[in-house]
Amino acid sequence: MQIVTLTKDTKKNILDRLLKRSPDSYPEFEARVQAIIDRVKKDGDEAIFSYTKQFDGAEINAQNVRVTAEEIEEAYEKVDQSLLDVIRKSLVNIRSYHEKQRRYSWFDSTENGTMLGQKITPLAVAGVYVPGGKAVYPSSVLMNVVPAKVAGVGRIVMTTPPGRDGKIPPSTLVAAHEAGVDEIYKVGGAQAIAALAFGTESIPKADKITGPGNIYVALAKKAVCGRVSIDSVAGPSEILVLADETANPRYVAADLLSQAEHDEMASAILVTTSEALAKAVTEEIEEFLKTLSRAEIIRKSLDQYGFILLAASMEEAIDAANEIASEHLEIIADNAFEVMMKIRNAGAIFIGPHSSEPLGDYFAGPNHVLPTNGTAKFYSALSVDDFIKKSSIVYYSREALEPIHRDIIAFAEAERLTAHANSIKVRFE
């Protein structure tokens, strides 16, 4: 990793480099993705079966596109009981956390005959995308399904790419069943997003699509946004560790590598006030790389997007963290809670030497679907709020409307909207 003195210029250069990883920086893929979307919109099932054969090598048709109860039973037989136990423990924590986010309708009435309120309605259909291919992500299943389930979504539909044998990884199926998915379909990539956005003969149209994916999935979600709601256009994974001289360099190195192994475009950044820590972390990283299975991916990630920034003070370090607005932020410092109070921009904040980022990925309970590429400045983690609608409720009796009706007429006429004004006038002719 490069050790760089933190200055205004170095910070800007790093931000510019990180932003190049955004899905918005790959326009050459957009036409390809749009062509897939257009064909699925036009040809429905025929298109998704064709693309599944082309991209995944699987023979999928109307008879086998939906996962059956028998396939789920078979998955349970193949998953180790120990993993099933962990999935269930994690599910309890995730559900418990998200239940605290549940919102309720409210109404406020007055004696003069008014009632105002907010009506909470869960979405009818949620579409959850789960990546496939070489990796298997049962944790992503739980994180996307649980908040929808807690919100009260009526129908949760999941899509995930099949293997060449037309099957879905057993741990993915088990996680989906445990979390409460209603339907699972064997389709991935941009074609799955298009199917959820427009519906096909086999796959229902969703009101919202959530879940991570590759550049094709990200750009497809961006393209259909507006036709349906989406969680975000997610970029590669990120971690920023904010540390002082009290931090254990072995812990810091291990935590940085935990995200760098995701992807060659993943970002791992240490911002510290200690030059001694910076040097010790680089040494620990080299030692870890001798044994880690994804060392080649990690090295490419660190070479391109790995930085150690030396700050003159903790205040300067905090400012840099707020500018970068990382997906995951760890604070390993003597006054970690005080530092946390000064953080404005981060997807998830992990405090102290024993709150490493994978704790949030798998088990603690908060959602691991988080804003990337600096969007933590204005976006939040996936939550129950993402799966509900809020309708304003307005009721006025004639007695309540009468004393203020001229005010409304005056306001409407000031905007030259005479039909608005007339709508009030006719009630007092």
pLDDT tens track for 92-148 = 999 999 999 999 999 999 998 999 999 999 999 999 999 987 678 899 999 999 999
Average pLDDT over residues 54-70: 96
Confidence of residue 288 (pLDDT cuts 50, 70, 90): very high
For strands 2-5 and 106-109, give the pairing: unpaired
How far are the Cα atoms of 158, 276, 278, 392, 414 from residue 407, in angstroms, in the given order?
51, 68, 65, 21, 11
For strands 306-310 and 2-5, give the pairing: parallel
What per-residue confidence (pLDDT) applies to 323? 94
Whether residue 1 has pLDDT greater than 90: no
Average pLDDT over residues 214-225: 94
Confidence of residue 182 (pLDDT cuts 50, 70, 90): very high
Q: Which two tokens stand for residue 419?
A: 């039909």
Strand segments, DSSP code E, in 244-398 are 267-272, 306-310, 328-332, 348-351, 388-396
Closest by alpha carbon to 268, among 304, 307, 229? 307
Q: Which is higher by pLDDT, 60 or 26?
A: 60
Residue located via tokens 């309890």: 92
Distance CA 368, CA 351 (A): 16
What per-residue confidence (pLDDT) applies to 283? 96
What per-residue confidence (pLDDT) applies to 134? 67
Average pLDDT over residues 230-248: 93
The CA-based dihedral angle spanning residues 177, 181, 182, 186, taken in that order and rounded to the nearest 10 degrees:
-90
Distance CA 416, CA 412 (A): 6
Confidence of residue 22 (pLDDT cuts 50, 70, 90): confident
What per-residue confidence (pLDDT) applies to 377? 95
Closest by alpha carbon to 301, among 339, 263, 256, 343? 263
- Which burial class, exposed, middle or buried, applies to 385 when counting CB atoms under 10 A from its CB (0-12, 13-18, 19+)? middle
What per-residue confidence (pLDDT) applies to 17? 83
Give me the percent of the chain exceeding a pLDDT of 90.
Answer: 88
- How many residues are there in the chain? 429
Closest by alpha carbon to 199, among 141, 124, 121, 122? 124
Summarize pLDDT for 331-383 with one digit per residue, the tens.
999 999 999 999 999 999 999 999 999 999 999 999 999 999 999 999 999 99
Residues recognised as catalytic: 327-328
What per-residue confidence (pLDDT) applies to 2? 83
Average pLDDT over residues 245-273: 94
Contact 281, 253 (CB under 8 A): yes
What per-residue confidence (pLDDT) applies to 14? 86
Average pLDDT over residues 212-234: 93
Distance CA 29, CA 161 (A): 20
For strands 106-109 and 155-160, give the pairing: unpaired
Confidence of residue 235 (pLDDT cuts 50, 70, 90): confident
pTM: 0.92
Confidence of residue 416 (pLDDT cuts 50, 70, 90): very high
- Which burial class, exposed, middle or buried, applies to 289 when counting CB atoms under 10 A from its CB (0-12, 13-18, 19+)? middle
Closest by alpha carbon to 42, among 215, 206, 210, 195? 195
What per-residue confidence (pLDDT) applies to 350? 98
Confidence of residue 15 (pLDDT cuts 50, 70, 90): confident
Q: Say which residues have a Cβ less than 8 Å from residue 379's Cβ, sequence separation at least 6.
A: 232, 347, 371
Closest by alpha carbon to 150, among 182, 103, 107? 103
Average pLDDT over residues 372-396: 96
Closest by alpha carbon to 342, among 327, 323, 356, 322? 322
Contact 219, 30 (CB under 8 A): yes
Distance CA 50, CA 47 (A): 5
Q: Say which residues have a Cβ less than 8 Å from residue 339's Cβ, sequence separation at least 6.
A: 242, 314, 318, 331, 333
φ, ψ (nearest 5 deg) of residue 330: -105, 140
Confidence of residue 300 (pLDDT cuts 50, 70, 90): very high
Contact 347, 372 (CB under 8 A): yes
Whether residue 405 has pLDDT greater than 70: yes
Q: 330: which strand partners? A: 241, 350
Average pLDDT, the chain: 95
